[in-house]
Homo-oligomer: A and B are copies of this chain.
Amino acid sequence: MSHISAGVEYGIHCLLYLTPTFNQRREASVRDLAELQGVPHEFLAKLFTKLAKAGLLVASEGARGGFALARPAADITVLDIVDAIDGQKSLFDCREIRSRCAIFDPENPPAWSSRGVCSIHSVMLSAQQRMREELALWTLADLAARTTEKAPASYPATVIRWLDGRGPARGA
């Protein structure tokens, strides 16, 4: 199991299609996005709810409702998305082994043994900090640009047409 969940992957992929590159009206329903990306739409709904609570998305309810980016794609970092979906979970959780040393009185370990941050824990925290710094360097706009780099020039227009062809009126 990986530290950064599949939910984050699903979320980012779908968020890309809310950027102006692929979606001028900047709003789409969860179902359309999920089907476009081939991910379970009920699962994606949960993810988008989290993203909305974190202030990255705004939801409009009711028929013809959907989600849109709450701010420019260049102001949404990968770290924002990871934190919103995975909830700032830490890379390592310290169990305070240092205070379990058999030499100590189990009921009353000395104060110095648990003073400050455990040295092992502090190494893990700095590693986590490095990871977060890197994630904060990249924005949705960067990822959208890299995606269109590889794809043929006609791809964004095809996506837009596909999205416009959906919706409640598709049966009529």
Chain B residues lying within 8 Å of A131, measured Cβ to Cβ, are 91, 127-128, 130-131
A119 to chain B, nearest CB (A): 4
User: How far apart sit A103 and B39, CA to CA, in the bound complex (Å)?
Assistant: 14
Chain B residues lying within 8 Å of A108, measured Cβ to Cβ, are none
Query: A36, B101: Cβ atoms under 8 Å?
Result: yes
Smallest CB gap from A90: residue in B: B2
Chain A stretch 41-89: residues in CB contact (< 8 A) with chain B: 78, 89
A–B complex contacts, Cβ < 8 Å, 23 sampled: A2-B90, A3-B3, A3-B91, A4-B91, A4-B124, A6-B95, A9-B95, A13-B97, A13-B120, A35-B102, A37-B97, A37-B101, A78-B120, A98-B147, A103-B158, A103-B159, A112-B150, A120-B143, A123-B134, A123-B135, A123-B138, A123-B143, A130-B131
Chain A residues engaging chain B, CB cutoff 8 angstroms? 1-4, 6, 8-10, 12-13, 35-39, 78, 89-95, 97-98, 100-103, 112-113, 115-116, 119-120, 123-124, 126-135, 138, 143, 146-147, 150-152, 158-159, 162
